[in-house]
Structure 1
Amino acid sequence: MPRELRVLIGAAFCIALGYGLVAPVLPQLAHSFDVGTAAAAVIVSVFALARLVFAPAGGRLVERLGERPVYVAGVTIVGLSSLACAFAADYGQLLLFRGLGGLGSTMFTVSAMGLMIRLAPPRSRGRISSLYAGSFLLGNIAGPVLGGALGGLGLQVPFIVYGIMLILTAAVVLLRLPKRSLPHGADGGAPVVLSLREAFADSAYRAAIGSSFANGWAVLGVRVALVPLFATAALDAGPALAGIALAIFAVGNALILPVAGRLTDTFGRRPLILAGLALAGVATMVLGLVPVVWVFVVASVVAGVGAGLLGPAQQASVADVIGPERGSGRVLAVFQMAMDTGAIAGPVVAGLLVDALSYGWAFGITGAICLVATVPWLLARETLPARR
């Protein structure tokens, strides 16, 4: 693996670890300004909303300035915003600084995907995507544990640690990822930009937009917002099971990620994406249909396996569409926006379904969205170069 990719994978772990550090204490910090629960929840959602709103501009920045400077700037902005959150004087400042963090987040997310596409060999894109996802997963698992411990020293401490960590990460990437290490365009100059019209003309990219939305809705949205509540309310299992509900999903994810990349580089992107969407969809439906603890555990693990199969193959497919010799800021931004839109809309719609009908309906609709997302992939082309 090229050294530059090892740098990016290590940076991904640090970023995810830091995000996990502040996650447990962020609502508590908002409450410290004497605001209600709804206002504390807004502090969490403003980050994702800022990512979604700024994504198109972030894509244009990548196309104009290049992936490396935008990546470094984005990580630095998130680091500085975290330090600012630690010293916020009131709720309004905290809301503003957290929103600025979302702006920086979309900058480094889009540019990181672009860097991975340009640096990863075509026949290894699945394996490298799985390593990148695995580093995020490990950081997300370890972060909340460390964040809870640091929060005991003061609610501001995790934010200070996160900010310093990200500024150091940006410096390492700046030094260890020289501009000359990035590939040029086909004529040796700056890469030609892939337009959105060209990208949407490709059946694989259109299908990836749909599966990205479904992944955001089910995995990043409903799973985080509803599964812990379901474990407590519907299963009557107490706070212990609610606390490990997300960890159960992560176990399935961690079990499959080491082999998912190799499978997608060997058998193609479409089979892994279809299998991942199907497993995640059916397992999510089962969650609401059979409110029994052991079924809940098994279904959560299976859903994690499905997400682990889907992620690397989906990202590798988008990378195949773009190729290493073309710029792709807006194309990647739209792909990321689809996921963020699902992550924002999913919990809201599913929560309304729970209030109006039941958890069964909420999980059933969520699983159905994953299954519907398989239809475009059944019609899409295989993008793995050896299997075109």
Structure 2
Amino acid sequence: MASVLPGRTGGRNGQDEFGQMGMGRWGEVGVLAVARMSMGAQLQVVGALGPLLIGTLAADWAALGSLIGAYSLAGIVMALPAGMLLARLGDRPVVLAGVGLMGLGGMILAISPDFSTAIAGRLVSGVGGTLLTIAGAKMVLDRFTGPAVAMAMGMMLMAWPFGIGLALLVIPLFGEEWRLGLWWSAGFCILAFLLLVVTIRRSRTVAGQPPRLSLHRHEWLPLLALGVVWAGYNAAFAVAVGFTPAFLVAGGASRAEAGMLASLIGFSILPLQPFGGALAERLGRPMLATVACIVGMVAALAATALGAPAWLTLPLFGLLAAPPSSLIMVFAGKVLSAETRAFGMGVLYTLFYLGLALLPPVAGWVRDLTGSAGAPLLAAAGFLAFCLIGLAVHAAATRTVPAAAR
């Protein structure tokens, strides 16, 4: 049986994509995973501190949702330029700039005296997160082929929910000292930056056609449909982990207990994250697996909001969230050619950040409107249900593309 681990995809004289000394592709994915872990923790820190920030940095739940969503707002503007920067400057400067800005924005948030300054800090961090996210996805797609793409992408992507779960466990340890939680998050990003500085030596040079600053005509519709799916899927995940602690506290749980239960979402995604997508690819039914998992996620969130045991439904939600994350990115890799990959990642993540910026405030607004702590979870279930339409459009669009154009 052929191995799912293809040979090296680039580099001269045995050099890998990142390093002069050649860590190996899987080790390099691990370095990116550490940086993405710090990004997940930074995204989640506002949600984990939620009740403590009401009346301090945020006036109400809608404002808290805006603080959560502001992290992604900069990505709406920066995603396409980030793809262009990747094509012009290479991986190393873009990745280092991204994680450095994450650390800077985290420090601004930690010292912020009011909502406006806090929003500014989240925007700076969001610019950094955009650069890291797009560069990391392109790096994996550049160096892996076949089922190994799903496995490598899953390894990198799983660091984000792991960071989210870690924040939900660590933040309650600071008690009422919410600024310490913000400083912890900023310090995590700075640590990741230092690790990248000493590890990533050189950007990869890819031979072949020069990068395009547009897509081929047949790539637009399937990629835009995937962008809608990627936005809705990730916004639903962010709303689930961001509003679940408050939902559980409203039901009588302590902050520590609520954080522990909510962290099950982030940690339960880990067992299937590296392998679920690769297995679906090997079995030849990646689209069916994606649809089935999203339907299950909708059911798990609805059951949680309606009073089902959270210790059961939250891990189920996280477990089912694992395969779609890598498979959606695999679908994107199949749509894009090598010369459109950088720009295409910018297009995909423009929609991704639109969803993350706009949908969490909608969930917070639904909470304010209804007064129900479970309303944001039902809103997240609705976001996921809409993803099924995007998957149908993507599947139909790819079926109509001539084989020679794929």
Interval of TM-score (by shorter of Structure 1 and Structure 2)? 0.7 to 0.9
CA contact (8 A) 2:107 2:183 kept: yes
Q: Which has the higher helix share?
A: 1
1:13-51 deviation per Cα after TM superposition (whole angstroms, max 9, x unaligned): 343345555653477467446956654553333222222
Q: Name the structure 1 match of 2:202.
A: 179
Deviates more, 1:290-299 or 1:5-14: 290-299
**Aligned: 1:169 with 2:192:** yes
**Aligned: 1:220 with 2:238:** yes
Q: Name the structure 1 match of 2:322.
A: 308
Q: Name the structure 2 match of 1:247.
A: 263
Pairing partner for 2:122 from 71, 82, 98: 98
Q: Name the structure 1 match of 2:348.
A: 335
Pairing partner for 1:125 from 149, 158, 162: 149
| C-alpha displacement of 1:202 | 6.1
**Aligned: 1:373 with 2:390:** yes
CA distance in 2 between counterparts of 1:140 and 1:34 reads 21
The 5 A counterparts of 1:2-41 are 2=25, 3-20=27-44, 23-25=47-49, 28=52, 31-32=55-56, 39-41=63-65
TM value normalised by structure 2: 0.75
CA distance in 2 between counterparts of 1:266 and 1:115 reads 22
Pairing partner for 1:42 from 59, 63, 66: 66
User: CA separation of 1:352/1:41 partners in 2, compared to 1, >3 Å: closer, same or farther?
Assistant: closer
Pairing partner for 1:198 from 216, 237, 240: 216
Q: Name the structure 2 match of 1:284.
A: 298
CA distance in 2 between counterparts of 1:35 and 1:357 reads 16
User: CA separation of 1:252/1:376 partners in 2, compared to 1, >3 Å: closer, same or farther?
Assistant: farther
| C-alpha displacement of 1:349 | 4.6
Q: Percent identity?
A: 19
| C-alpha displacement of 1:232 | 6.8
Pairing partner for 1:78 from 79, 102, 117: 102
Count of aligned residue pairs for this structure pair: 372
Structure 2 letter corresponding to 1:333: G
CA contact (8 A) 1:216 1:338 kept: no
**Aligned: 1:209 with 2:233:** no
The 5 A counterparts of 1:135-154 are 135-150=159-174, 154=177
Pairing partner for 1:275 from 258, 280, 289: 289
Structure 1 letter corresponding to 2:330: A
Q: Which runs of 5+ in 2 are unaligned?
A: 1-23
CA distance in 2 between counterparts of 1:127 and 1:330 reads 23
Q: Name the structure 1 match of 2:180.
A: 157
User: CA separation of 1:265/1:183 partners in 2, compared to 1, >3 Å: closer, same or farther?
Assistant: farther
1:155-176 deviation per Cα after TM superposition (whole angstroms, max 9, x unaligned): 4333334334323422332332
CA distance in 2 between counterparts of 1:200 and 1:148 reads 49
Q: Which runs of 5+ in 1 are unaligned?
A: none
Q: Name the structure 1 match of 2:158.
A: 134
User: CA separation of 1:27/1:334 partners in 2, compared to 1, >3 Å: closer, same or farther?
Assistant: farther
Q: Name the structure 2 match of 1:107.
A: 131
Structure 2 letter corresponding to 1:76: G
CA contact (8 A) 1:274 1:377 kept: no
User: CA separation of 1:33/1:194 partners in 2, compared to 1, >3 Å: closer, same or farther?
Assistant: closer
User: CA separation of 1:199/1:129 partners in 2, compared to 1, >3 Å: closer, same or farther?
Assistant: farther
Pairing partner for 1:256 from 250, 272, 294: 272
1:120-148 deviation per Cα after TM superposition (whole angstroms, max 9, x unaligned): 34441110111112222222211232233
Structure 2 letter corresponding to 1:337: T
| C-alpha displacement of 1:254 | 2.8
1:237-285 deviation per Cα after TM superposition (whole angstroms, max 9, x unaligned): 43368555533434542342243143144134xx334323333235415
| C-alpha displacement of 1:81 | 2.0
Structure 2 letter corresponding to 1:262: A
| Partner-residue secondary structure (3-state), 2:112 | coil
CA contact (8 A) 2:29 2:155 kept: no
CA distance in 1 between counterparts of 2:42 and 2:354 reads 23
CA distance in 1 between counterparts of 2:147 and 2:244 reads 36
CA contact (8 A) 2:38 2:163 kept: yes
CA distance in 2 between counterparts of 1:20 and 1:364 reads 19
Pairing partner for 1:317 from 289, 308, 331: 331
| C-alpha displacement of 1:77 | 1.1
Structure 2 letter corresponding to 1:371: L
Structure 2 letter corresponding to 1:253: I
Q: CA RMSD in A?
A: 3.8
CA contact (8 A) 2:215 2:340 kept: no
1:286-336 deviation per Cα after TM superposition (whole angstroms, max 9, x unaligned): 65479764476655444333321100111122233335x536333212212
